[in-house]
Each structure stands twice: as structure tokens, then as C-alpha cells.
Structure 1
Amino acid sequence: MLMQHAESATDDASSTQADVRGYAWVVFALTIGLLLSDYMSRQVLNAVFPLLKATWNLSDTRLGSLSSVVALMVGLLTFPLSVLADRWGRVKSIVLMAAMWSLATLGCAISTNYGEMLLARAFVGIGEAAYGSVGIAVVLSIFPARLRATLTGTFMAGGAFGSVLGMALGGSIAARMGWRPAFGAMAAMGIVLVIAYRIVVTEKRLAPLQPFSTRKQTLGVRMSFLALMKGLFSTKSVVCAYIGSGIHLLVPAAVWAWMPSFLSRYYGMSTAKAAMSAALFVLITGVGMVMCGMLADRLGKHVRERKWSTAIAFCLACFVLLAVGFRMPAGPLQLLLIGAGMFFSAGASGPSGAMVANLTPPSIHSSAFATLTLANNLLGLAPAAFLTGVLADRIGLVGALQLVPFAPLLAAFAFFIGRRNYTGDLNRLDALRQQSAR
């Protein structure tokens, strides 16, 4: 769900040749299309949770594991696969990854038991692992620097919009034709986009738009592992940014996974209606991510510590709204409060990315954002659905969801510690940079 990656493309690409500008937008559209396919393949599962539970008599723990295994694979493999993609070729890597998650989604459609489904879902995660970092790197490398904020914001929001489409479209298909065609439709869409991307996008056609990118990519590859680790974890505040970002994303991951089941069990909605309604909460999360990021940039324009303060405020707002919402009786007011809480649930993503960028050298931003993705998945996205399922088997789904809002409270504490160290850490980094420049 939820992607922030490096500006690994060249800063020198401030202009784009007139004869290839149209091609750059075609590449952007296809890359966003694959991102939508990525999240549709990931989130279609949540729309068919009730059907899978009935078909194979699965516990909530097992249902949750089918969702969590994707984020687990993404978290474990994002960093190494991103490095391999830089060496092997980004376009070839994108085609291979998209083909893998599409075929794995097709494998979900033909699974005959829980074990086969779990294996197929693991391969969905392997295919998706480095797509975010590699995809945004390709996009940013072929556009002027002045468009990077717009392009990155659009790319980040694409994950939420893909989740909306996956849940809404998957739920609609499943209600009419069953859960297998729902997975099959997502797989077919991915395969078509892979073929189109393979035909249209090549390293040779991208090269004229990124004349200096290769030199900058090589800089990161040649850095020693020890120096890289030292740069990635050089300050307390950057570690707090990693941790806070990861923990606070446990909320959207858990609610996205279990909202269709929640609406089905406690509001009596059909599979299709529950999926469509749950998709609205995903959409609210995506809109909130963009707007909270814009607000953090505006408020922190002249006072750099305010990005930390906004991250803390977003986490606290999410905690209060969801803690109250999930304890209310079923009804419109409960859904309104949950929706308001979801608006802030991923709001700290933008500030977290800015903190990481400010606290790490530009030459290792690709690795820094891969590390942030790793933290996001291992601390939040991967365990969320599984842990919620384990708790649901013991205290009921509502009881489990009532505990989920405590995650952003912990994240706020991590951001608070980071804020206290931020100014001193920045001053030390500035001093080191000045020394190295002499």
C-alpha cells in the first residue's frame, strides 16, 4: 500500500527533448498502470475473505496470513532486489516482476487448498518486492526535476487507488462469478500490461532522457557495505523515522484487510457491497496520505521540526478517532468516525519520507528509501492482517480492531523521540558534509 522511494534519477534532467516528451508520459502511464495492477493483485484477496473462509473453513489467523505473507516477502526482498535491478537493468526487472505477480495471482485462482494459496500469495509478494522503488526510479529519471513532487505524489497515491479497484472490482466479480474469476481477472489485467510495457518501454528509448543517470546509480553501487550502513543508520532521528513510519502503517494494513469482513459480519452486507464499501475507506486513506503530506510540507516550510510535529499529530488523531469509532455500536456515526480515522491513518508517510531524505546523503537515497520500505513492511504492513486475525480468533474481530489504534500511539512516541534529536542530528550531518567538502 502505501510507497515512498528515492529520487534516484538525475538532478540534471531538468529538461526533456520535445520529440520524446510524449514518450515520457506514455512510460509514466504504463508504470502507473502496473502499479495499479500490483495493488489490485494484492488487495483482491481482502474482498473475497468471506468466500474463502466459507470454502475452506479457514480460521481468521489463516485468512490473515494470506494477506500478511505478501507484505512479508516485500519487506524481506525490497532492498536486495532493488540493488539487483540497478545492476541488471530496471526495465527488464520491471517486466520480470510484473510477470511474476500476475502469474502468481493466476496461481491463486487455481489453488485447491490453503497451502497452495499461501505459496501463490508468497510469489505475489516476491514479484511486487522491488517494483515500487524501481518503478518510481524509472519515472523520475525521464522527467524534469521540477515535476518530481507531482509525479511522486501521484505514484504514491496509485497504491491506494489500486487497492480500491482491487477490492471493489474483485468483490463485484466474486459476487457474480465466484472468487476464482476475481483472481483471474486481476491476473489477466496484469499480463496485458506486462506485454504492453515490454513492447513500448526499452532502456534504449529511455537513455536520451536520462543522460547522467548511470553515473549516479553507479555511485551507490560502488559504496562499501559498511559505509552504506553507516549512512543509513547514522542518527537516532532517522532510526525513529523508520520505526515510526513502519508502526503507524499497521492501522491501514489491518483495516484494509479486515474491513470487508467487518462490514459483512456486523452490518450484514453482501460480499459485493462489503467490498465496495470497504474500498471507500481505502480511498479515504489515499486522499488523506496526499493531503497530509501537502499540509506537512506547508507547515514545515520555514520550521524544519514541524514535519515531526505533524507526524505526531496525525498519529494521535488516528488513535483517538479509531479508538472511539471501533467501540461505538454499529451505525452511520461509527462508520463516520472510522472514516475520519482512516484519513489520518497513513498521514505520517509523507513527513517520514521527508525526514529520511533530510537525514541521509543524496548518494544513498535509493538505499534509504528501500530501508524505509523494509521498515514499513516488517513493522506494519506484514504483521497487521495476521496479528489481527490471531486476536480475532480469540476475542472476536471487533475486539481485535479495537486494539489496532494503539499502534499509531506507539508511532507517535517514536516520532517524539526523533523530534528531540532532529536539530542536533542535522547540525552534525551538516558539519560532516562541510568537512568532507574541504
Structure 2
Amino acid sequence: MGLHTAGTAVPGTSPAIPAVSRRYAWLVFALSFGLLMSDYMSRQVLNAVFPLLKAEWLLSDAQLGSLSGIVALMVGLLTFPLSLVADRWGRVRSLVLSAVVWSLATLGCAVSASFGEMFAARFIVGVGEAAYGSVGIAVVLSVFPIRLRATLSAAFIAGGSFGSVLGVSAGGVIAQVHGWRWSFGAMGIFGLVLATVYGLLVTEKRLGTASNKHSARAGERAPLRTLLPRLFSSVSVVCAYIGSGLQMFIAMAMLAWMPSFFNRYYSMAPAKAGLTAGVFALLSGTGMILCGIAADRLSRNLAARKWTVAIACSLASLVLLMVGFRLPTGPVQLVLIGAGTLVACGTAGPAAAMVANLTPAAIAATAMATLTLANSLLGIAPGPAVTGMVADRMGLLGALRVVPLIAIAASAAFAIGKLFYEKDLRRMGLLPDVSLKNLELQS
């Protein structure tokens, strides 16, 4: 982010004009997106083969859950430190190494002979995947104009939703035909092929980060003690973290409990309920992209409108989901719940764009890791669990009627962030003597 007049940029931020061609930038995005899908396919393929593992190794549900939970645990613990290492050591090198690690570990799952070996392999999958999302989005944002940040952030993050659905569905089909080992094998081979292509076509030198003189002047190698406080140095960036995390609470609660909702209230068999819930997961990913595009287009003349889009998505999810879950079962209810699902994650792109705008480019991956951590602590981790606890008291339908109320707090956080945005930019020296509405015009 920055103020520009023909190639100038605000200190500490990315240059106004990317150092690569548009065609190469889209190649970087496509490969990064593909690897993110591989990340989530390797993570979620396990869910498709739960029944087969349980039957072959006589595992308990707790053991099956631990095979899934260990990946999430390692991602949560290591995202921030590994993203910080990537910012200093090299983001592209870190991405390729991460992809090779999780792909080889997924192949390790394919040849596991016991629960212990599978657990160890899944542990390494988590280590490999820990920082990919935050580092990958930092690389993508570095090669595109600032005016596309919300769109690219949303599209990249949506890759997780698409990868999850593809991992479960493709993994189930492969397991049915060739056995569960080939489900892991196919995901591991896919990841290794993509990592090889990525390493050959994307390098620090080709991205222009290694020799970017402006970045050097801007403090790419400034001491961490001066850069890290900038992750929390403004009210608006903290509000972006909080608003995004709270909104993610709703999205993750929906993702976790929609199969049970369809099973209990629409009398769908588990398989059909899972497939139907998968459609809603795809709606969530699609909504991220559409809302990100809307945020970028509406903010061309006034950057603060990204906050407005986030507020609108949050409040829309509140109204649509609360009304939807209070209607009787039927097509109208499904349409409203689907619409609410579409906008529930629409805040992801604008929030990521605001974090990128308000933090130094030198620690872009670390900033995205901080956002990821906020999403995990406020939304991804507690959303399904808290919803389950409420469901034990009120029934699942009652819980799903209450969950959308979180959007009130999320929209309030975004509103406060918008209120302080211009003031924070000026205080941080990112908006000197220029109106906020001109912030991105020349990006």
C-alpha cells in the first residue's frame, strides 16, 4: 500500500508498480493457489477414509480425531514463527520447502503400517503446512497492484475451501476404487509435482524481491524489534484481526455442523448430508471471491470502502442466517441459508487487504500469520466447539439460530476500524498530506 506518483511508494510498503509482468503475476497466483489446494487436499483427505482406517486398524473415534487434530495443532503453533523465518530467509524458498515436506509426509501416510506411524506422518504434514497460507498470500500480494488486494486475498483464501471439498470427494472416490493408501498417495504425488513446477518457475530473483532497491531503502532488513510492533501499532489493524476472527467463528460453525443439520432436520443419509454440506462450503469460497472483487471495485476512489464491504457482509450474514434458521424446512430456508453462507466469509478479502495496507512489506508473511492466528483463536477453533456446547443445551437448530449474533461484534470491530483508518494511516506516515480517496488510484 502507499501513495504514489509514478512509481513512488510509502516507506515500509510494497512498491506501487509490481516488478513483474501481469502474465507472470497470474502464473505466480495460479501456482500458489494450486499449492494451497494441495495443502488442504492433503489435510482433509483423511476425513474421507475414516471408516476404512477404523475398520482396518480398529481405531477409536478419539484416535481418528487425533489424526486430524494434530495437523491443526501444529499449524496453530508454528504459523507465526515459520512465517517470520520466511520473511527473513526467503518466501519462495520457504513455500517450496513447505510443499515438499507436507507432500512427502502425505506419502508417508500412504505407507503407514500402524496408528503410531500415521500419527507421526500427520504431525509432519502439520509442520509442512503451518506457514504456507500466510507466506503464500504475501507472495501473491507482492506481485499485483494494491488495488487488487482484497480480490487476490479472497481468491487465495478461498482455495482452502475448494481444496477441502476436493480432498474429501476425490479421496473418497479413490479409496473406494483403489483403497485408502492410494488416496494419500495421489495427494502426495500431486503436491510434489506442483512443488517442483513452482520451484522451477518462481524464484526470488524473478519476483524482483532480491534486487528491489526501493525495498531495501524502505527497510526490508530493518531490525525485527522495530518491525514487529507494527503488527499491532494501530487501532484499525487490531480491529481487522478481531473482526475477521469473529466472522470466521460463524463460517467455521456452519462448515462443521451443516452435515448434521441436514441429517437431523432434512432426514438426509450421512453421505447425502455431507455432499449437500459440500455445496455450501463451495458457496462460502465463492462468496469470498465475489465480495473481494466488490471490495476492490468499490474502493477504487475511496480505499476505506473496503471496511464498508466487510461491515455489509457481516450484517448481511447476520440477517440472512438468523431469518433462514427460523423458517420451516424447505427450499426458502435453504436459499436464505445459502445466501448467508455466501457472504459469511466475504470479510476475508477486505480484512486481509487492510492488514497488508497497515503493516510493513518486510514482514508481510508475519502479518498474514498474525491474521491467521486471530482467525484460529477467535473463530476456527472455538466456532465448532462452542456451537456444539450450545447445541447440547438448546438443540442444534437453536445453536445455529444463536451463532449469527457473533456478527454484531464482528461488524462493530470493522466499524471501529473504519473510523480510525485514515487517522492511523496519517499517524504512521502512510498518508501524508493526501486525501484517503487517492490512496490507491495509481496502484
- TM-score, scaled relative to structure 2: 0.77
Matches of 2:114 and 2:388 in 1, distance apart? Answer: 22
**Cα deviation, residue 246, structure 1:** 1.2
Residue in structure 1 matched with residue 242 of structure 2 by the alignment: 243
Partner of 2:226: 227
Whole-Å separation in 2 of the counterparts to 1:175 and 1:265: 26
Which deviates more, 293-302 or 180-189? 180-189
> Aligned equivalents of 1:85 and 1:257: distance in 2?
31
* Secondary structure at the counterpart of residue 313 of structure 1: helix
Using a 3 Å threshold, how does the CA distance of structure 1 residues 336 and 370 change in structure 2: closer, same or farther? same
Rounded Cα–Cα distance in structure 2 between residues aligned with 1:399 and 1:51: 33
Amino acid at match of 1:58: D
Superposed counterparts of 1:275-424, under 5 Å: 275-391=274-390, 397-424=396-423
Q: Deviations over 1:267-326 (max 9, x none)?
A: 444454333322211221122112212222333344444332332221121122223333
Are the equivalent residues in 2 in contact too, given 1:99–1:191 (CA < 8 A)? yes
Distance 1:274 1:169 in 2: 17
Paired residue for 1:169?
170
Unaligned runs of 5+ in 2: 1-11, 434-443
Q: Residue type of the partner of 2:136? A: G
Inter-partner Cα distance in structure 1 for 2:166 and 2:181? 17
TM superposition shift of 1:249? 1.0
- Residue identity matched to 1:379: L
Quote how far apart the aligned CAs of 1:353 are.
Answer: 2.2
Structure 2 equivalent of residue 84 of structure 1: 85
Offset at residue 245 of structure 1 (A) = 0.7
The answer as to whether partners of 1:104 and 1:124 remain within 8 angstroms in 2 is yes
Corresponding residue for residue 208 of structure 2: 210
Match of 1:95 in 2: 96
User: d(CA) in 2 for partners of 1:147 and 1:233?
Assistant: 23
Superposed displacement of residue 192, structure 1? 3.7
1:4 alignment counterpart: none
SS in 1 for 2:353: helix
Once the two structures are TM-superposed, the CA of residue 178 in structure 1 deviates from its matched residue by 6.8
- Cα distance in 2 between the residues matched to 1:51 and 1:432: 58
Structure 1: how far apart are the matches of 2:257 and 2:47? 7
Aligned mates of 1:348, 1:140 — CA distance in 2: 17
SS at match of 1:336: helix
Asked if 1 retains the 8 angstrom alpha-carbon contact of 2:42 and 2:103, the reply is: yes
C-alpha spacing 1:230/1:381, structure 2 compared with 1 (3 Å)? same
Give the aligned partner of residue 39 of structure 2: 38
Q: CA deviation at 1:38?
A: 0.9
Offset of residue 239 of structure 1: 0.9
Cα shift at 1:25: 6.0
More displaced stretch, 33-42 vs 71-80: 71-80
Indicate if the aligned counterparts of 2:95 and 2:136 stay in contact, CA closer than 8 A.
Answer: yes
Query: In the superposition, relative to structure 1, how do residues 146 and 88 fare at CA in structure 2: closer, same or farther (>3 Å)?
Result: closer
Instruction: Tell me what 2:190 maps to.
Output: 189
Does the 8 A contact of 2:13 with 2:359 survive in 1? no
**Cα 1:248–1:148, aligned 2, differ >3 Å: closer, same or farther?**
closer
Whether contact under 8 Å (1:46, 1:257) holds in the other structure is no
1:137-172 per-residue CA deviation (whole Å, 9 max, x = no partner) reads 44555x564896565554333233222312332344
2:310 touches 2:346 (CA, 8 Å); kept in 1?
yes
Which amino acid in the other structure matches residue 348 of structure 1?
A: T
How many angstroms apart in 2 are the aligned matches of 1:391 and 1:429?
Answer: 42
Aligned-partner residue type, residue 38 of structure 2:
S
Secondary structure, aligned partner of 2:375:
helix
**Aligned match for 1:58, one of 61, 66, 88:** 61
Question: Is the contact made by 1:49 and 1:261 (CA closer than 8 Å) also made in structure 2?
Answer: no
Structure 1: distance between partners of 2:309 and 2:375:
19
Q: Distance in 2 between matches of 1:427 and 1:367?
A: 23
Deviates more, 1:210-219 or 1:401-410: 210-219
TM-score (norm 1): 0.78
Distance 1:271 1:177 in 2: 22
Residue 210 of structure 1 and its aligned partner are, at CA, apart by 1.6
Does the 8 Å contact 1:86/1:217 carry over to 2?
Answer: no
Per-residue deviation, residues 46-84 of structure 1 (Å, max 9, x unmatched): 55678889975537xx87776565444333322221222
Amino acid at match of 1:94: L
Cα distance, 1:363 vs structure 2: 4.6
Number of residues of Structure 1 aligned to a counterpart in Structure 2: 417
Distance of 1:426 and 1:25 partners within structure 2 = 29
- Name the SS of the counterpart of 2:381 in structure 1: helix
- Cα distance in 2 for partners of 1:431, 1:187 equals 43
Q: Which runs of 5+ in 1 are unaligned?
A: 1-6
Q: Secondary structure at the match of 1:274?
A: helix
**Distance across 2 between alignment mates of 1:404 and 1:121:** 31
The one-letter amino acid of 2:254's match is: V
**Cα offset for 1:15?**
4.8
